[in-house]
Chains A and B, each alone.
Chain A
Amino acid sequence: MSKRVSAAPVKQSIVVEAPIERAFKVFTEDFGSFKPREHNLLSVPIAETVFEPRVGGHVYDRGVDGSECHWARVLAFEPPNRVLLSWDISPRWQIETDPDKTSEWEVRFIAETPSRTRLELEHRHLERHGQGWEGARDGVEGDQGWPLYLKRFAERIAREA
């Protein structure tokens, strides 16, 4: 049995009190202001995170010493509705240079009202990061696995908010 199965994507959504154009603009232009700073592969503190607003651009962290870490490629850039990016960080926390071994994340912006926008984020194709996902799949996608875990996680976030 060598059937290739895909890993369940990470899906999240959030509703913000802002018009869709602003929601998109802030997400892309100010990405570095809300991306958790401690999450980076540089050996020095981050000076800034840059989101290049075009297909073929990158998202990269720039360290205080000028070093750069390009960890995402912009695959689609469709203001104000959608962005699609790669995730070039391997499970071993190294930059993955083989595009076939990278996952992708998509953010869709949906206007619920003129002043309210829903963001839907999907991080998918995690299986591309490595072999053997098939073996682990049952454990993380079974009824007692991720669905329950995600529910608890949501409850925990709600408590912290």
Chain B
Amino acid sequence: MILDILMGGLSALKEYIALHVVTCLIPAFLLAGGIIAFTSRDIILKYLGVKAKNIISFPLAAISSIFIAVCSCTVIPVSAGIYRKGGAIAPAFILLWVAPASNLLAVIYTGTIIGYEMAGARIITAFVTAFVMGTVMYLSFHKEETERMIAGEKGGNDDKKIIAGKDIILLLLILFSLLSPNYLIIKGPYLYKVYVFTISISITFLYAYFVIKKDRISNWLKETWWFVKLIFPLLLMGVFIVGVIGKILPQQWIEHWLGGNSLRSSFLATLIGSISYFATMTEAPFVDTLMKLGMGKGPALALLLTGPGMSLPNMLAIIKIFGLKKASVYIVTMVILATLSGWFWGNYIFRR
């Protein structure tokens, strides 16, 4: 029995990690490292801090979330900073939600494991729910915010660019190495994917070698290595636990409580995701395992969003920074929105 459970964990490791290291994880980490190394995040944040109109600041906050942080732990100080500096409450909360719920690494991994349909749904839903939540936060707290507002623009306003043209090409090449193996070789032996990957990543590194300055390359590789060191152990452990849980959980339970696309299943999936902590990327194999055991696609989406997006420790930190009132409005709004989106996608968009 115990041996069986351990084997479950090991086979999950093989299925989710070994098969994806070369063609998904390596380029994904390189891309994330590149974004951190080559974009000036402080400039993006400056745009968010100023009193921009909602129609600009909402989408800006959502899109820049992708570039700023990967897990909920790093996004909290950033979000707190935006809130304190410019009093922009809605963008602060949008960042807090979108950065973990639909970050680059996790979305790429979701696409590889569960499918690109689900990855797309994850991004779209994260954005839509973020805009609704941002509006709720704005309407609820707008008045007290304007009283509290402090114009805190510190530091010199130098004309740095967000990203240089040469660096964009490098990022696009990495993106190409990431996508080409999986799109050019849709059906075919894994080895072919490795061939395609080897060619495209070689082009990428040749480009970097001849065009990008040495210290910037080393900076990029250093940032990449940070991601690997930080996330890979958590991913290994998480995936092992996922395999074990998959062996232990009875299929009937999953089918009963999380099957189909009812509001109840979607709500339960949201609850599980909001309370428990998922290290970035581990939510994808977890949801995949549950789907194989009978979880509906709608609840799966809800769990993918709230899994990394919210957790108990994350809620406590939010309460500490924003106060109980704002945190409660945020948490309740997100639980309702996630439940509704799971139900909506499950019934109207994911057709079987």
The answer on A and B forming one complex is no
